[in-house]
Amino acid sequence: MKHSVHALLLASVFAGVAGLAYAQELAPLNSDTEPDRIDWSELEAQFGPVPAPPEGTKIGGVSKTLTNEYWRSLGEGYQHVADQYGVEFTYQAAQSEGDQLGQLSIAETLISQGFNALLVSPQTDANLVPAVEKATEAGIPVLNVNDAVIPSAEHYVGNVQKGNGVNVAQWFIDNRPDGGKVAVIEGQAGVYAAGQRTAGFTETIEGAGNFEVVASVPADWDRQKAYDAAATILQQNPDLIGFYANNDGMALGVVEAVKAAGLQDQVVVFGTDGISDAYASIRAGDLTGTVDSFPVLTGEVAMEVALRLMADQDLPRVVATPQALITADNIETYSTDDMAALRQALMAPAQ
């Protein structure tokens, strides 16, 4: 049964790719390096205020899962802007981060129900391609929002995924000048964000010359799998000095493994996403840091971009959203529910 499901998914993906070939002349999207891009903070200056949508506008959101706080927070951001502009908004998600066919079914159902635009966060780079084809044929704008990347996506909103890993590697270079052994707990194999985050960390830290990445293993965004992987890595490398995990849930699992090994004074742990549990763990002195990509703000920006696309604004292909490395040193700057204040903090010059 498992093989037949995979076969059906692959068949639908190939059909979608074939269908899009005639409709799209865009190069396959690499959201980190796409030159046709704009920073989120420049949208209003270049394109003016967000256009008011027509009465009765319906926009659908398709999430990876709602069991992860990041995706719930993204949905909150969508809803903030939908409420502001009187848009009917529906947000649905697959049962788990591995339910690729379930997510595809949700997207196709929303298309059939007459939604005016879709905001999608694919489980993998390929599983929603058939839905994109159907939406394109129906004239429905589709916005790819973090973190897997549909190669044929016309528009994408999200942060520079490689930068997540680069930021953490730079912390090690700056704060552990003697170098040492480090390890990576990856997300789901084959997902753009996981690959880019891992590459950003590995390439940057190995470039310093005095660090060794002794292990880099996938844990499928799962906290327990991350715990198990970290426990094994620590047994094999008792002199390890740190971990980088591709999301915060896995990072918190790694923290538990480090504590169980009695190595919390030696081993630092970093995650990615900036969920509230990560902030709490940093305050408690357990998690060393996280790269916050500000999901509520990202959701707000994405909904604003969707409304601009519906108004036929000719936007760049990628709208880049912010990120920041959060540690005990700067946690209070970014720990706020006031989106206006957060926007102001993130728009302030970095230098």
Residues 152 and 33 in one domain: yes
Give pLDDT, residue 348.
66
- CATH assignment of the domain containing 124: 3.40.50.2300
Could you give the 3-state DSSP secondary structure of residue 167? Answer: helix
Residues 38 and 90 in one domain: yes
| Residue 4 falls inside a structural domain | no
Cβ-based neighbours of 244, under 8 Å, separated by 6 or more:
165, 168, 169, 182, 183, 184, 185, 201, 270
- Of the three residues 272, 292, 312, the one that is the final residue of a domain is 292
Residues 132 and 193 in one domain: no
Residues 261 and 300 in one domain: no
Give pLDDT, residue 190.
87
Residues 41 and 132 in one domain: yes
Residues 199 and 256 in one domain: yes
H-only helix segments in the chain: 2-23, 43-47, 69-85, 100-112, 129-137, 161-175, 192-207, 223-236, 248-260, 276-283, 295-310, 331-334, 339-347
Residues 191 and 257 in one domain: yes
Burial of 179 from C-beta contacts in 10 A (0-12 / 13-18 / 19+): middle
Give pLDDT, residue 63.
97
Give pLDDT, residue 8.
41
Residues 115 and 185 in one domain: no
| Residue 166 falls inside a structural domain | yes
Residues 264 and 203 in one domain: yes
What is the C-alpha to C-alpha distance for residues 295 and 271, in angstroms, rounded to an integer? Answer: 15
**For 60-115, how does the pLDDT look when each residue is reduced to its tens digit (9 = 90+)?**
999 999 999 999 999 999 999 999 999 999 999 999 988 999 999 999 999 999 99
SS3 readout for 55-112: CCCEEEEEECCCCCHHHHHHHHHHHHHHHHHCCEEEEEECCCCCCHHHHHHHHHHHHH
> What pairing do the DSSP bridges indicate for beta strands 142-145 and 156-158?
parallel
Cβ-based neighbours of 346, under 8 Å, separated by 6 or more:
41, 294, 297, 322, 324
| Residue 45 falls inside a structural domain | yes
Sign of dihedral through CA atoms 212, 218, 221, 223?
Answer: negative
| Residue 31 falls inside a structural domain | yes
Range of the domain at 267: 161-292
Number of domain units in the chain: 2
Residues 213 and 112 in one domain: no
| Residue 334 falls inside a structural domain | no
What is the C-alpha to C-alpha distance for residues 23 and 7, in angstroms, rounded to an integer? Answer: 25
Residues 165 and 63 in one domain: no
What is the C-alpha to C-alpha distance for residues 89 and 82, in angstroms, rounded to an integer? Answer: 6
Residues in the chain, pLDDT under 50: 1-24, 350-351
| Residue 150 falls inside a structural domain | yes
**Edge-to-edge strand list for the sheet holding 180-186:** 211-218, 180-186, 242-245, 268-273, 289-292, 324-326
| Residue 6 falls inside a structural domain | no
> What pairing do the DSSP bridges indicate for beta strands 289-292 and 324-326?
antiparallel
Residues 239 and 116 in one domain: no
| Residue 15 falls inside a structural domain | no
Give exposure, 57-94, as e/b (b: 16+ Cβ within 10 Å): bbbbbbbbbeebbbbbbbbebbbbbbeebebebebbbb
What is the identity of the amino acid at 340? A
What is the identity of the amino acid at 321? T
Give pLDDT, residue 50.
98
Give pLDDT, residue 21.
41
